Structure 1
Amino acid sequence: MTTTTSPPAVAPTVAKPVGTGPTKKRPNRRSTPLTIAMLAALAYFLLPLFWLLIASTKSTRDLFNSFGLWFSDAPQLLSNIKATFAQDDGVFLHWLRNTVMYAGVSAVGAALLAAAAGYGFAKFRFRGDRAAFNLVLGAVMVPTTALAIPTYLLFAQAGLVNTPWAIILPSLVNPFGLYLMRVYAEDAIPDSLLEAARIDGAGEARIFFRIALRLLAPGLVTVLLFTLVATWNNYFLPLIMLNDPDLYPITVGLASWADQTQNGGAGAGSDMLALVVTGSLISVVPLVVAFLMLQRYWQSGLATGGVKQ
């Protein structure tokens, strides 16, 4: 009699849901020296702004007689702002308009020129391209103050001194922006996309303005912000180029107010020093607003440019 043995029963396997297993905790890594260094850097950058905000609420007398990093007994920020815009028949507002015009036109023009030149260096090959780009890199190392006097002599011969063009035209040339756009264009614009556009019959100008410029937008905003800040804070070039107070930017205008305070012997009894401090605070506000509005564009531009595609 033959007996058959049935195979042993196998217990069914139940699949565990994903994520229910034991998870490893990330090590909580902290570096005390790095934390201290970060706090020191934060204080280095924010402390002057905090002092400027506090000082703008004080009179000239309180600037000398009260603690610099705290408010006085009688804050007067609004009255200081009103007095700043009313001083010398509202010339501060005129300086502010000049600065916006100089910085805005220079930033847009420099960003477009840097994008066009960077795109050309990145996507076209021509005789002497490496030598020309090395010349651009060498120009990055030249300080702008060393070029101020030759630029003045050149503009004097052209009859452009004491005109807005004396500030705008030199600011359009941005070697660092060109270098940045060239590095960014190499990875941001695929060669296959350009070849497809050429096969479809698009010209080089149309390819640049309709395709390349859109892909270069984050890097373009980065160059625009750098040029905007550089032109907004430029002091030496307007100082030697402009003689008419109606053409002054904020930097030169506030410096002229400070000179009046020192040369006139006003000292602590005059309100002019408080107006200079308040005007400095007002001049910082547009730059802060510009960075807050455009930060997502230039941050993505720097991040994308640092990743090899």
Structure 2
Amino acid sequence: MSRPAVNAFLLVAAAYMLLPLTWLLFAATKSLPDLYGTPGFAFAHLNLGANLSAVAAEGDGVFFRWYLNSVLYAGLGAGLGGLISVACGYAFDKYDWPGKDQLFGLVLLGVLVPTTATALPLYLLASKIGVVNTFWAVFVPSLVHPFGVYLARVLSAGYVPGEVLEAARSDGADELRTFRSVALPMLLPAYVTIFLFQFTGIWNNFFLPLIMLSDQRLFPLSLGLYSWNTQVTAFPEYSTLVITGSLLSVVPLLLVFVLLQRFWRAGMTAGSVK
């Protein structure tokens, strides 16, 4: 394709991605009458402060409890889950043991299974051990990320030369010390890449919290905003709460990607050039 054609395609793709966010930005600044009485991509009377106050006051500030829950689910889940994925990928790449290829095949099979298909079995397991409607019912499943293990194996092959590991072992480092002090710093771009994937997935997770949680105090943002949205028909004023809350929920994702983008770009290009 010619350069103008490629640029035109990228412009259309960017518009497709940004238009909903742009509409959300306009809508969050409007009062309820202006929301339905003015064009979608036009400012009316600036009402953002009142909307933010309404979100903060609703349910004695339950929105910020949901916000904290999402930060804990996504931040801790992606941080610890990314470390587990990197360790597993490193082990698959650098060690040999009986049945390694077969086990990695099961990991790849896990990549093909959609998360919604595992929600009901996870609920039944959580019910058996008595952790339904607890923080752990949502947090623990988020630590397992088959695609992260696959990606970590690929990135380990691209980032960690075997000669460096042999040199560390020759200096007397055991396997745990070699991984912690030598391999893990070299895998930092890989870890950040996996962290971003997991953080986004956990932050946007909806179906698992929906079936696991009934206590509103444990809801993540996705489920909390959904519970508000179900009341819009009976109480139209919830429209502005949902829209303003949705705008606020995008902020952590933007910050994480902006702050970690240099590691993410490095991770995505690992092994592409010898």
TM-score, reference length from structure 2: 0.97
For 2:239, what is the secondary structure of its paired residue?
helix
Could you say which residue in structure 1 is the equivalent of 2:243? 277
Q: What are the within-5 Å matches in structure 2 for residues 158-169 of structure 1?
A: 158-169=129-140
CA deviation after TM superposition for structure 1 residue 305, in Å:
3.5
State the AA in 2 paired with 1:64: Y
Q: What are the within-5 Å matches in structure 2 for residues 185-196 of structure 1?
A: 185-196=156-167
- Distance in structure 2 (CA, Å) of the matches to 1:290 and 1:61: 34
- Distance in structure 1 (CA, Å) of the matches to 2:164 and 2:134: 43
Could you say which residue in structure 2 is the equivalent of 1:14? none
State the AA in 2 paired with 1:294: L
CA deviation after TM superposition for structure 1 residue 245, in Å:
0.5
State the AA in 2 paired with 1:277: I
Summarize the Cα distance change of 1:129–1:46 in structure 2 as closer, same or farther, 3 Å threshold.
same
State the AA in 2 paired with 1:66: T
Could you say which residue in structure 1 is the equivalent of 2:147? 176
Could you say which residue in structure 2 is the equivalent of 1:42? 14
CA deviation after TM superposition for structure 1 residue 251, in Å:
0.6
- Distance in structure 2 (CA, Å) of the matches to 1:274 and 1:59: 7
CA deviation after TM superposition for structure 1 residue 83, in Å:
1.1
Could you say which residue in structure 2 is the equivalent of 1:101? 72
CA deviation after TM superposition for structure 1 residue 132, in Å:
0.9
Q: Say whether 1:300 aligns with 2:266.
A: yes
- Distance in structure 2 (CA, Å) of the matches to 1:275 and 1:134: 46
- Distance in structure 2 (CA, Å) of the matches to 1:177 and 1:127: 22
Could you say which residue in structure 1 is the equivalent of 2:4? 32
RMSD, aligned α-carbons: 1.2
For 2:232, what is the secondary structure of its paired residue?
helix
Could you say which residue in structure 2 is the equivalent of 1:222? 193
Could you say which residue in structure 1 is the equivalent of 2:255? 289
Q: Say whether 1:66 aligns with 2:32.
A: no
- Considering fraction of residues, name the structure with more helix: 2
State the AA in 2 paired with 1:147: T
- Runs of 4+ aligned residues of structure 1 deviating over 4 Å after TM superposition are none
CA contact under 8 A between 1:59 and 1:271: conserved in structure 2? no
TM-score, reference length from structure 1: 0.86
CA contact under 8 A between 1:218 and 1:297: conserved in structure 2? yes
- Distance in structure 2 (CA, Å) of the matches to 1:306 and 1:260: 50
% identical aligned pairs:
47
Which of 201, 204, 210 is 2:181 aligned to?
A: 210
CA deviation after TM superposition for structure 1 residue 32, in Å:
3.0
- Structure with larger Rg: 1
- Give the unaligned 5+ runs of structure 1: 1-28
Per-residue CA deviation, residues 97-123 of structure 1 (Å, 9 max, x unaligned), is: 111011111101110010000000000
Could you say which residue in structure 2 is the equivalent of 1:124? 95
Per-residue CA deviation, residues 13-36 of structure 1 (Å, 9 max, x unaligned), is: xxxxxxxxxxxxxxxx95332222
Q: Say whether 1:137 aligns with 2:108.
A: yes
- Give the unaligned 5+ runs of structure 2: none
Per-residue CA deviation, residues 69-118 of structure 1 (Å, 9 max, x unaligned), is: 1112x121111111111111111011101110111111011100100000
CA contact under 8 A between 1:98 and 1:249: conserved in structure 2? yes
Per-residue CA deviation, residues 244-295 of structure 1 (Å, 9 max, x unaligned), is: 0000011111111111222xx23xxx32110110000000001101111111
For 2:230, what is the secondary structure of its paired residue?
helix
CA deviation after TM superposition for structure 1 residue 186, in Å:
0.9
- Distance in structure 2 (CA, Å) of the matches to 1:101 and 1:244: 16
CA contact under 8 A between 1:167 and 1:238: conserved in structure 2? yes
Could you say which residue in structure 2 is the equivalent of 1:52? 24
